[in-house]
Structure 1
Amino acid sequence: MAPKSNAQSLLEKADKKANSSTGWFSSSSTKYEEAGDLYQQAANAYKLDKLFKEAGDCFAREAECRENCKEDNEAANAWWNAAKAYKRGYPQQAIEALSQTISRLTKLGRFRQAADREKEIGQIYLQEGIDLRKACESYERAGDWYAQEDATATANQCYKDAADLHADLEEYPQAIARYQEVANASLGSALTKYSVKEYWLRAGLCALAMNDPVQARRSIQGYQAQDMAFGSTRECKFLIALIESFEAGDIEGFTGAVVEFDQVTKLDNWKTNILLKIKRDVQSDEPGFT
C-alpha cells in the first residue's frame, strides 16, 4: 500500500477536526477555525502536487469552516482560492466558486472586487465557449459594479466586451446601444476620446448587419454632430463606402473597401465575422472575402 501524501494526511486531520465534538475548554468557533487552517494547508499541499481539483475542494471546505466562524472576509478569500485552483481545468467548478466569492463580497460592500470576480466569470464563459449569453451578462454586471465604484475606464471595457458579444449573438440593437453608451462616456476625456471612432464603426457595422443602411447613415450624421472630426477619420470613410456598396448591391465595391481598410488597419476577428455576414446579405451567392 502506497504511503499517504502530505496533502492526504492534512486532509484527514482537517476532516477529523471539523467533525469532532467540542469539549469543555473549546468552542465550536475554535474547532472550525483550526479545521479551516488545516484545509488550507491541505489545499496548498495538493497544489504542490498539481492536483488542482483536490486543491479546490479543500479550499471550498476551508471556506465553509470560515463561514461557520462568521469570518466573512476569510470565507470570500477561500472561495477565490478555490476558484483559482479550479480554473486549472475545471471551469464549471471555477464559476461556482467565483459566484460564492461574489456573494460574500457584495454582502461586505466590496463591489470593486466583486466586479473583478464577475469579469473572471465572463472570461471563463467566453474562453471555454460554455455560454456566450452568460458571458455577456457577466460583463454587463461587472461593468455596472465598476461604474458605481467610479472605475469608468474598466466599466467601459466591460460594456464594450458585452457589446461585442451581443453582436455575436445577433442582438444588434443591444450592441449598438452599448457601443454608443461607451462612446458617449469616452468623448469627455482626452485619454479615451481616440477610441470613440472604433465604437462608432462597430455600431455602424451592426446597423448594416441588421440590413438597415438608413439607420447607419443617420448614425453617422449623429456621430459627426457629436464630434466634427469623425467625418475625416478612416473609420467614417470606410463605413460610408460600405453603406454605399450595400445600398447599390455592389459586391466588388464592398470587397474593395474592406481590402483597402485592412491594408492599413488589420481587421480583427470580430470585424471580419460581421463583415462576412453583411457581405452575404449584399449578395449571398458570392464567395466570402479573406
Structure 2
Amino acid sequence: MPSKSPAQALLDKADKKANSSTGWFTSASSKFEEAGDLYQQAANAFKLEKLFKEAGDAFAREAECREQCKEGNEAANAWWNASKAYKRGFPDLAIQALTQTIVHLTQGGRFRQAADREKEIGQIYLQESNDLRRACESYVRAGDWYAQEDATATANACYKDAADLHADLDEYPQAIARYEQVADHSLGSALTKYSVKEYWLRAGLCALAMNDTVTAKRNMQKYCNQDSTFATTREAKFINALTETVEAGDVESFTGAIVEFDQVTKLDNWKTNILLKIKRGIQEEPGLT
C-alpha cells in the first residue's frame, strides 16, 4: 500500500479531530479550533503538491470549523484562501467560496473588502464562463459597496465596467445611465475630470446604437451644458459627425469619420464592436432623405 502524502496524513488527522467526541476536559470550540488549524496545514501541504482542488476543499473545511467557533474573520479568510486555490481550474467553486467570504465580511461591516471579493467574482464570470449578465451584476454590487465606503474612484471603475457590459448585452439605456452616473461623479474632481469626455463618448455611441439620433443630440446638448469645454473636444465632434451620417444613412461618410478619429485616438475593441453595430443599423435602414 502506497504511503500517504504529508497533505493526506494531515487531512486524515484533521477529519479525525473534527469528528472526535468531546471529552470531560475539552470543549467543542477547542476541538474545532484544533481541527481548523490542521485543515489549514493540510490545505497548504496540498498547495505544495499542486493539488488545488484538494487544497480548496481543505480550506473550506477549515472555514466550517472557524464558523463552528464563531470566528467570522478567520472563516472569511479561510473561504478566501479556498477561492484562491479553486481559481486554478474550478471557477464555480471559487465563486461559491467567495460568496461565503462576502457573507462574513458584510456581517462584520467590512464592506470595502466585500467589494474587493465581489469584483473578483465579476472577473471570474467574465474571464472563465463569459457570463456577461452575472459579471455586470457583480460589478454593480461591488460599485455600490465601494461608493458607500467613499472609495469613489474604485466605485466608478466598477460602474464603468458594468456600463460596458450593458452595452455588450445591447442594453443601451442602462449603459447610458451608468456612463452618465460615472461622468457626474468624475466632473467634481480635477483628477478625474479629464476622463468625462470618454464616458460621454461611450454614452453617445450607445444612443446611436439604438438608432436614436434624437436622444443622441439631446444628450450631447445636455453634456455640453454640464461642461462647456466638451463641445470643442474631438469626442464631441466625433459623435456629432456620426449622428449626421446616421441621420443621412450615409455609410461612406460614417466610415470616413471613424477612420479620421482612429488616426489620432486608436479605437479599442469595445468601440470597434459598437461602431459595427451602428453601421449595420445604417445599412438596414436606408437614409431618410
Q: Name the TM tier (shorter chain).
A: over 0.9
Aligned residues of 2:32 and 2:66 also touching (Cα < 8 A): yes
The answer to whether 1:138 aligns with 2:138 is yes
Q: For the residues of structure 2 that align with 1:88 and 1:28, how far apart are their CA atoms?
A: 34
Please give the residue correspondences for 1:1-290 in structure 2 after superposition, counting only pairs within 5 Å: 1-284=1-284
Per-residue CA deviation, residues 120-144 of structure 1 (Å, 9 max, x unaligned), is 0001001113421111110000000
Query: CA offset at residue 284 of structure 1?
Result: 4.1
Per-residue CA deviation, residues 2-27 of structure 1 (Å, 9 max, x unaligned), is 22111000000000000001111111
Q: Which runs of 5+ in 2 are unaligned?
A: none
Q: Could you tell me which amino acid in structure 2 is paired with residue 120 of structure 1?
A: E
Q: For the residues of structure 2 that align with 1:204 and 1:130, how far apart are their CA atoms?
A: 26
Per-residue CA deviation, residues 215-264 of structure 1 (Å, 9 max, x unaligned), is 10111111110111111111111111110110111101101111111111
Q: Could you tell me which amino acid in structure 2 is paired with residue 150 of structure 1?
A: D
Question: Secondary structure of the equivalent of 2:109?
Answer: coil
- Percent identity at matched positions? 79
TM-score, normalization by structure 2: 0.97
Q: Could you tell me which amino acid in structure 2 is paired with residue 220 of structure 1?
A: M
Per-residue CA deviation, residues 98-141 of structure 1 (Å, 9 max, x unaligned), is 00000110001000000000000001001113421111110000
Per-residue CA deviation, residues 185-216 of structure 1 (Å, 9 max, x unaligned), is 00010000000000000000000011101110
TM-score, normalization by structure 1: 0.97
Q: For the residues of structure 1 that align with 2:285 and 2:248, how far apart are their CA atoms?
A: 16
Q: For the residues of structure 1 that align with 2:14 and 2:268, how far apart are their CA atoms?
A: 50
CA RMSD of aligned residues (A): 1.1
Q: Could you tell me which amino acid in structure 2 is paired with residue 221 of structure 1?
A: Q
Q: For the residues of structure 2 that align with 1:236 and 1:129, how far apart are their CA atoms?
A: 36
Which aligned runs of 4 or more in structure 1 are off by greater than 6 angstroms?
none
Per-residue CA deviation, residues 44-96 of structure 1 (Å, 9 max, x unaligned), is 00111111111000000000000001111100000000001111111000000
Q: Which runs of 5+ in 1 are unaligned?
A: none
Q: For the residues of structure 2 that align with 1:213 and 1:50, how far apart are their CA atoms?
A: 56
Question: Secondary structure of the equivalent of 2:70?
Answer: coil
Question: Secondary structure of the equivalent of 2:129?
Answer: coil
Q: For the residues of structure 2 that align with 1:130 and 1:41, how far apart are their CA atoms?
A: 34
Q: Could you tell me which amino acid in structure 2 is paired with residue 239 of structure 1?
A: I
**CA shift in 2, pair 1:130/1:96, >3 Å:** farther
Question: Secondary structure of the equivalent of 1:88?
Answer: coil
Q: For the residues of structure 2 that align with 1:115 and 1:26, how far apart are their CA atoms?
A: 39
Q: For the residues of structure 2 that align with 1:54 and 1:263, how far apart are their CA atoms?
A: 52
How many correspondences in the alignment?
286
Query: CA offset at residue 285 of structure 1?
Result: 10
Aligned residues of 2:112 and 2:145 also touching (Cα < 8 A): yes
